[in-house]
A and B are shown apart, each in its own frame.
Chain A
């Protein structure tokens, strides 16, 4: 079971979090023309890297903040965790 350092609360077991997918996906801006291709990429296409992956988790049983976690998908090593508004 992973041990995730919530940037707001500190180290907490994985059971307090829920997974939220790729953190590098950016939602197209509202009221802007978006091509079918770009929209499909945003909604459906995700990379499944072997190795480093920046992903979202929500501290659902804690502070309820969405956080970013840089994790190795192969070894589960967690390199860094960030607040929602921070970037690597």
Chain B
């Protein structure tokens, strides 16, 4: 298909490079430098989508980030990209895009029936209509509404594109490369400041690309190019295009998304698709410019109605005429600039100016070009469903209340200009108290909270001369404070056409008997009538009106709708806009890919996986791994066709009968040194520590100040002032912080140092009746007899030339030893243990068998020490010293903690000795009691006892101490199970603890 709407020359596109692309399955051509929007318009395509609520046809309204309609779904690099603005998407060879929010296609959309039923879809219709029956909401209404409304569908596949994060620091961050951005960047750079200049679009220069001005002896565009090339050559300046500063956070932290590869057919290897920049700036210059405001009239959402500034940009940047019979509908001089561009390119526009009369250089030029100008004229309604074909225009009275002389004239586009709205989003996000400027009918920044300065059009300054002057000065002033250097830059002379005042008129009254929809928010289908309804129903606060009608809530953040909405509310309420106030601006300014926010922190990267030095051995020996905190631990070692249950039973049984070895590297380890270390431990743990001899380990429990058990573990006295503490895998980091807190803040007088040594040591627990035999062969020089190395003893040994620490401690309840060597020798140690243990039938065991062993022994662990239990609850009250004070002791005397029927850990066995009890089950007295059935407690851990070959669980239940022998029920509503059980002692196996001491 040939391009009917492309000029023969002009624009900034590369006409030597033709590009083919498809839209809704149809092939088109454009040029390098086009956006998807400009290329479609060049081909005469105006229908791009359907609206959010009424499914009305949608065309192009803007030419960049201001676009509320033209949202498409992209297929790129075999990935789906929803919610892409066609006005921002640059064209590349083979681009594939399609319309959203329409079915079966954009031309014939069944959902458009909503448009004819629009009486049933007023503001707040979700809240009003779908109230009954309640259960229908989740199952029926919501899914249907969700399907019908929305802007494309996200892929459910894993996104294989690469996104990156970057952290940057600078003296000045400048957001926007229009005249104010360029001037302030230039003078700041001259003073030696580190500058980052960010431009949202692919081309630098902002309004200079489309305005007819002279700076010095160059036109605006040439001047911008010169400044940019100078800035790029300076080492202290970073210049970034396709980069949008979208969020202003505390302490001058800004976030910018850089679209690194979105404009390319695919992402190259090692190059990200997008990059998120976290920038900490000493000063921020907001030079984000302004966005043209629409005028409100009947059917003002029809394809072919667009901002006059967008029409001008399509002409000047892309060489595209958006229509051959344009109407320019304006309340200020900006519309004339667009009309003049049309005229210069051989198109005859009609200007409808709402003002009674106006005179300026621009108007004079339009008159000299013989452009048809009608003053006191308005567009009453656009005509045409999928494309504007004509317009009802009318004369408007001087008081703007009455229209007369309605006539229909042919046209193929209506370019509207309702003056300019400064883009104050970033300033407002930073905490700036904005103020209303009567002269321009818009809010501008006023008092800064953070180090931020808004310049140029974003600050309500609409003349180039003043913009450049203040921007050069401000850039110099701000940077001078930082660098203490000043290189004066002379401000060039500016030639620009002076404008006359704009008309405050913005909304065309409805003609008698007509009920046209006049849209305020184009993306969310919010019309004048919706706001009127909301106010009739009693909504007053602008924040409530916004949420009830969804005005300004869509992805375009009300860029084109906000002020007209405020104006309407003020008019109806008989207030002025500043009294109504504006809604809060929140980041992001424009949508950011979830991928960019997440960056590389996907899958296992969300936290680095920690592996023990023996990991490769485990892998080679068919270990099935499980996440244990940040670690990967073997859950079981699979033999043949074994499942988890069979393998863990075999492993646990082997520990009870022979000997097993378990990788315990992941246990937290803290090295404690200093003359006051014993005193410190005595305060940290509930039991006594002052008399622990060198070469002995002790089990300890530590509490939080509120009396709840924080962690448990063994600590060994290595030498006089040196202790080795172990913590549970999960609590390692918390315990270290806890110790540091007390040493640094509460008892700074104690001379103790603590440091994490978790990763310095690899650990292997050798457990089982034959473990001593293994140890004897591992350390032939050592006396490891019960006298030589008694229970809770510690020695250092030589493991075939490697220094080893040997602790006789046991988690499994069997005779057991933990051997630690420096991490680098971990694998060597493990292989030696396996080699020597072979004759004793040694087998490795994983966390599942480890759990089984500790549960049937009644050893409490994380599932009992769950942040809700005190020592008594865990049957650890014997470890609580009555004599000395320690962290959390005072809390233990609270009445609830000493109650007679206080909860306590018990053992639970199913009466049938067959049915496993799901973890989390409730223990109740009467399985058939009326709901809610009073709960005595819950099952915290379950296993299959290898000692007795039946299921066994631990539970923490009310009055546990008096419940032993009772017949109760374990109920799991989740698994739909009710199991009759008997309560037994939690110490199910070897209650006297003879094995560990053997």
B744 touches A34 (CB 8 A): no
Q: Decide: A34 near B890, CB < 8 A? Known: A1-B249, A3-B251, A43-B705.
A: yes
**B693 interface residue, CB < 8 Å from A?**
no
CB–CB B891/A39 < 8 A:
yes
Complex Cα–Cα for A42 and B885 (A):
16
B384 in contact (CB, < 8 A): no
Q: Tell me whether B974 is interfacial, beta carbon within 8 Å.
A: no
Given A30-B885, A43-B891, A58-B737, decide whether A1 and B251 contact each other with a Cβ distance below 8 A. yes
Determine whether the beta carbon of B745 is less than 8 Å from that of A75.
Answer: no
The answer, yes or no, to whether B540 is at the interface (CB within 8 Å) is no
Minimum CB distance partner of B736 in chain A:
A64
Q: Which residues of B contact A66 (CB under 8 A)?
A: 740-741, 744-745
A65 near B737: Cβ-Cβ < 8 Å: no
- Is the Cβ of B741 less than 8 Å from the Cβ of A20? yes
Contact A42 B744 (CB under 8 A): no
CA of A85 to CA of B740, assembled, Å: 13
Asked if A28 meets B748 with Cβ closer than 8 Å, knowing A43-B705, A76-B251, the reply is no
Contacts of B740 in A (CB 8 A): 58, 64, 66
Interface size of B in residues (CB-CB distance below 8 Å): 25
A47 CB–B CB distance under 8 Å: no
Q: How far is the CB of A75 from chain B (nearest CB, A)?
A: 7
Q: Closest CB of chain B to A43's CB: distance in Å? A: 5
Q: Is the CB of B741 within 8 A of A27?
A: no
Within 30-88 of A, Cβ neighbours of B (below 8 Å) are at: 30-31, 34, 36, 39, 42-44, 56, 58, 60, 64-66, 75-76, 78, 84-85
**A75 lies within 8 A of B431 (CB):** yes
List residues of B (705-740) whose CB comes within 8 Å of A's CBs. Answer: 705-706, 737, 740
What are the residues of chain B within 8 A of A85 when measuring CB–CB?
Answer: 748
Q: Determine whether the beta carbon of B744 is less than 8 Å from that of A75.
A: no
Taking CB atoms, residues of chain B closer than 8 Å to A34 are 890
B611 at the interface (CB under 8 A from A): no
Residue among B251, B278, B894 with max Cβ neighbours from chain A (10 Å): B251
Cβ of B571 under 8 Å from chain A: no
* Residues of B562-586 contacting chain A, CB below 8 A: none
Q: Kindly state the separation between the CA atoms of A28 and B747 in the bound complex, as whole angstroms.
A: 11
Q: Interface code B234-278, partner A: CB below 8 Å = 1, 0 otherwise?
A: 000000000000000111110000000000000000000000001
Is B280 an interface residue when CB atoms closer than 8 A count as contact? yes
A28 touches B737 (CB 8 A): no
CB distance from A37 to the nearest CB of B (A): 12
Note all chain B residues with C-beta closer than 8 A to A84.
744-745, 748
Give the nearest-CB partner of B737 in chain A: A58
Q: Which of B856-901 contact A (CB under 8 A)?
A: 884-885, 890-891, 894
In the complex, which residues of chain A have a beta carbon less than 8 angstroms from the beta carbon of B706? 43-44
Residues of B within 8 A of A58 (CB): 737, 740-741
Kindly report which residue of chain A lies nearest to residue B746, judged by CB atoms.
A27
Q: Which residues of B contact A65 (CB under 8 A)?
A: 744
Hey, which chain A residues are within 8 Å of B885, CB to CB?
A: 30-31
Whether the Cβ atoms of B741 and A76 lie closer than 8 Å is no
Pairwise interchain contact A56-B745, C-beta atoms closer than 8 A: yes
Verify if B449 is at the interface (C-beta below 8 Å from A). yes
B683 in the interface, Cβ–Cβ < 8 Å?
yes
Q: Are B250 and A1 in contact (CB under 8 A)?
A: yes
Within 8 A of A (CB), among B650-694: 683
A18 to B733, CA, bound (A): 12
Our pick among B280, B705, B737, B894 for the contact of A42 (Cβ within 8 Å) is B705
Q: 11 more A-B contacts (CB under 8 A) besides A2-B251, A60-B737?
A: A1-B250, A1-B253, A3-B280, A27-B746, A31-B885, A58-B740, A66-B740, A66-B745, A78-B251, A84-B745, A85-B748
A and B contact pairs by CB, cutoff 8 A, 26 listed? A1-B253, A2-B251, A3-B250, A3-B253, A13-B167, A13-B253, A18-B737, A27-B705, A28-B890, A30-B683, A30-B885, A31-B884, A31-B885, A36-B894, A39-B891, A43-B705, A43-B706, A43-B891, A58-B737, A64-B740, A65-B744, A66-B741, A75-B431, A78-B251, A84-B745, A84-B748
Closest 3 CB pairs of A and B: A3-B251, A30-B885, A84-B744
